[in-house]
Amino acid sequence: TQSTRPQRLLHAVQKNATRGDPRSVVKAIDNFCRQKEWAMNVGDEKGCILDSVVSEVNPVTVLELGTYCGYSTVRIASLLPPRAKIITLEFNPDYAKIARQVIAWAGLEDKIQVVEGPSGEWIPKMKEQFGVKTFDLVFLDHWKDRYLPDTKLLEDCGLLRKGTILLADNVICPGTPDYLEYVRNSPRYKSQYFKSHLEYTKAEDGLEKSVFLG
């Protein structure tokens, strides 16, 4: 039977990356997507912006919405301090299956918890199920029409604290207009746009970094 793109991406990691070396996993995926098949990873250009935000925040508890094949999960986890953890939500079981194997190849299983299911159902359970108090950093990269409702849900569930950073992918392409309008006009956020390009292309895209003011 025909393999899927995530399966081919995983094989490229297993063929070209060194086990236990997260940066080689990131490089193998970027080379595969640049040379063989485009895939919706945050990519290396926006990935460098992601790296700088993660390094600046030095988060202990991270939430990622939208795991896909685990590219940004590995990128973030490789920069986390020893006891820090990332919870990543993926509703598509096939993506989750591939992501777990990419994460294992990088040797980052101890820092990453892949949770299968939709964000809308899992966000309200974060405290009771995973003992989360509040998140230090949230990376939004799932369905673009879920960024705003899930941000409001995170607020309502008391999962954001003064200073929590929300970092959103694709605010230009495919675009998240209602989310942008909200974080840029709400008195509860201080927002900043990092102009970049859509992964592996010349099209404009960017990341929006928003600080929750409480």
CA 124/CA 137 separation, integer angstroms: 17
Residues numbered 12 to 41 that lie near ligand 7JE (CB under 6 A) are: 40
What separation, in Å, do the N-terminal and C-terminal C-alpha atoms of the chain show?
Answer: 51
Residues 91-110: x where in contact with ligand 7JE by CB under 6 A, - otherwise, as a string: xx--x---------------
**Cα dihedral 165, 168, 171, 177 in deg (nearest 10):** -70
Q: Specify the pairing of strand 204-212 against strand 189-197.
A: antiparallel
Residues 127-166: x where in contact with ligand 7JE by CB under 6 A, - otherwise, as a string: --------------xxx--x--------------------
Q: Is 208 in the site for ligand 7JE (CB under 6 A)?
A: no
Binding piece for Mg ion, criterion CB under 5 A, among 88-96, 101-109, 134-142, 154-162: 134-142
Can 152 be counted among the known catalytic residues?
A: no
Task: Tell me the number of residues near ligand 7JE by CB under 6 A.
Answer: 22
Residues numbered 146 to 175 that lie near Mg ion (CB under 5 A) are: 169-170
Three-state SS at 171: helix
CA 110/CA 46 separation, integer angstroms: 25
Burial classification of residue 168, based on how many CB atoms lie within 10 Å of its CB (0-12 exposed, 13-18 middle, 19 or more buried):
buried
Per CB under 6 A, residues contacting ligand 7JE are 40, 65-68, 89-92, 95, 118-119, 141-143, 146, 169-170, 173-174, 198-199
Name the residues annotated as catalytic: 141, 144, 169-170, 199
